Amino acid sequence: MYREIRKMTAVIGSASVICPASPPRARPQVGDFLALDLGGTNFRVMLVKVGEDLDGQWKVDTKHKMYSIPEDAMTGTAEMLFDYIAECISDYLDQQNMKHKKLPLGFTFSFPVRHEDIDKGILLNWTKGFTASGAEGNNVVGLLREAIKRRGDFEMDVVAMVNDTVATMISCYYEDHHCEVGLIVGTGCNACYMEEMCNVELVEGEEGRMCVNTEWGAFGDTGELEDFRLEYDRVIDEGSLNPGQQLYEKMIGGKYMGELVRLVLMKMVNENLAFGGEASEKLKTKGSFETQFVSQVEGDSSDFRQTCNILRTLEMQPTLADCQAVRMACESVSTRAAGMCGAGLAAVLNRMHKHRGDDILKITVGVDGSVYKLHPAFKDKFHATVHKLTPSCEITFIQSEEGSGRGAALISAVAYKMASLIGH
By CB under 6 A, name the binding residues for ligand BGC. Answer: 39, 110-112, 127-128, 163-165, 184, 186, 188, 190, 215, 217, 246, 249
Looking at the Cβ atoms of 29 and 370, the one nearer to ligand BGC is 370
Question: How far are the Cα atoms of 190, 275, 402, 403, 408 from residue 169, in angstroms, in the given order?
Answer: 12, 45, 11, 8, 10
> Directed axis angle between helix 305-313 and helix 291-298, to 10°?
150
DSSP 8-class letter at 119: T
Residue from 37, 119, 128, 250 carrying the catalytic annotation: 128
CB atoms near residue 350 (< 10 Å): 16
Residue from 37, 83, 119, 164 carrying the catalytic annotation: 164
Q: Outline where 41-163 has alpha helix (H).
A: 71-75, 78-96, 140-151
Task: For 361, list phi and psi in degrees, rounded to 5.
Answer: -90, 115
Q: Work out how close the CB of 259 gets to ligand BGC at its nearest, in angstroms, rounded to a whole number.
A: 16
Query: In the complex, which residue's CB is closest to ligand BGC?
Result: 188
Nearest-angstrom CA–CA distance, 366 and 370: 14
Looking at the Cβ atoms of 135 and 316, the one nearer to ligand BGC is 135
CA 87, 89, 90, 96 dihedral sign is positive
Q: If you write DSSP's letter for every residue of 220-283 in order, what string do you get?
A: TTTSTTTTT--HHHHHHHHTSSSTTS-TTHHHH-HHHHHHHHHHHHHHHHHTTSSGGG---HHH
Looking at the Cβ atoms of 157 and 221, the one nearer to ligand BGC is 221
Q: Under a CB-based contact definition with an 8 Å cutoff, are residues 114 and 83 in contact? A: no
Phi-psi region of 357 (alpha: psi -120 to 50; beta: other; left: phi over 0): left
Told to judge if 303 belongs to the known catalytic residues of this protein, a careful annotator would answer no
Q: Work out how close the CB of 192 gets to ligand BGC at its nearest, in angstroms, rounded to a whole number.
A: 8
Nearest-angstrom CA–CA distance, 115 and 187: 23
Nearest-angstrom CA–CA distance, 188 and 352: 23
Q: Work out how close the CB of 327 gets to ligand BGC at its nearest, in angstroms, rounded to a whole number.
A: 27
Looking at the Cβ atoms of 185 and 210, the one nearer to ligand BGC is 185
Nearest-angstrom CA–CA distance, 52 and 122: 34
Nearest-angstrom CA–CA distance, 128 and 43: 14
DSSP, collapsed to helix, strand or coil, labels residue 61 as strand
Instruction: Determine the length of the chain.
Output: 424
Q: Work out how close the CB of 382 gets to ligand BGC at its nearest, in angstroms, rounded to a whole number.
A: 15
Looking at the Cβ atoms of 166 and 308, the one nearer to ligand BGC is 166
Nearest-angstrom CA–CA distance, 97 and 105: 17
Q: Work out how close the CB of 418 gets to ligand BGC at its nearest, in angstroms, rounded to a whole number.
A: 24
Residue type, 387: H
Looking at the Cβ atoms of 254 and 318, the one nearer to ligand BGC is 254
Told to judge if 128 belongs to the known catalytic residues of this protein, a careful annotator would answer yes
Q: Under a CB-based contact definition with an 8 Å cutoff, are residues 395 and 386 in contact? A: yes
Q: Work out how close the CB of 292 gets to ligand BGC at its nearest, in angstroms, rounded to a whole number.
A: 17
Bridge partners of 121? 115
Q: Work out how close the CB of 157 gets to ligand BGC at its nearest, in angstroms, rounded to a whole number.
A: 24
How far is it between the farthest Cα atoms of the chain?
72
Give which of 43, 370, 367, 365 is closest to 186, Cα–Cα: 370
Q: Under a CB-based contact definition with an 8 Å cutoff, are residues 119 and 102 in contact? A: no
Q: Work out how close the CB of 62 gets to ligand BGC at its nearest, in angstroms, rounded to a whole number.
A: 19
- Residues serving a catalytic function are 128, 164
